[in-house]
Amino acid sequence: MMKRFSLINFILFQSSWALAATLPANAPFFMLILLGVHFLLTPSRMDDVFLLLCALIGIALDQTFIAFSLLDVGQNWVPFWLILLWGHFILCLNHSLKWLRQLNIIVIGLLGAVAGTFSYWMGWRLGVFDTQFTTGLFLVSYTLAWGILLPIFCQLANRIQNRHAHS
């Protein structure tokens, strides 16, 4: 069940990303349904609930970037679709991206710097949001943020899983 759910989790996240990138105004309704599907099917519900709280770190980062206009979403607060996207992403660390947690912290940071930045760059290029900064500053900011955040997220996911495994 665990391996099959990793594929389901991957599909749920990619679907959420596609919805957020193409239909941000209407995406939350469908993203909530996909989140419900995740929790209906997950084999590790309690670990997922605790890990979901870690999404608050990413949401806070995006809120900071919004406050400084690095991320321009047309409002002063993180939009609901982005909050849900953080939730979907963080849940991948228990399932489709669980393999990532076993890598060296430097490798995790490099992967975060590349993949996380690419995801935001694609959202920007698709017109989901804008920035008031140069492309270079936008990319450097997200590269640094994701290079630091992804290793932290992986460490938190490992601690949550270890804590519940020993309970």
Q: How many CB atoms lie within 10 A of CB 122?
A: 12
Closest C-alpha to 30, from 77, 74, 81: 81
* Cα 117 from Cα 50, distance rounded (Å): 25
Handedness of CA 158, 17, 84, 61 (dihedral sign): positive
Confidence at 127, pLDDT banded by 50, 70, 90: very high
Closest C-alpha to 83, from 66, 58, 51: 58
pLDDT in tens, 86-97: 999 999 999 999
pLDDT in tens, 34-76: 999 999 999 999 999 999 999 999 999 999 999 999 999 999 9
Kindly give, in sequence order, each residue whose CB lies less than 8 Å from that of residue 61, ignoring residues fewer than 6 positions away.
145, 149
Q: CA angle 18-15-119, nearest 5°?
A: 45
Reported pTM: 0.94
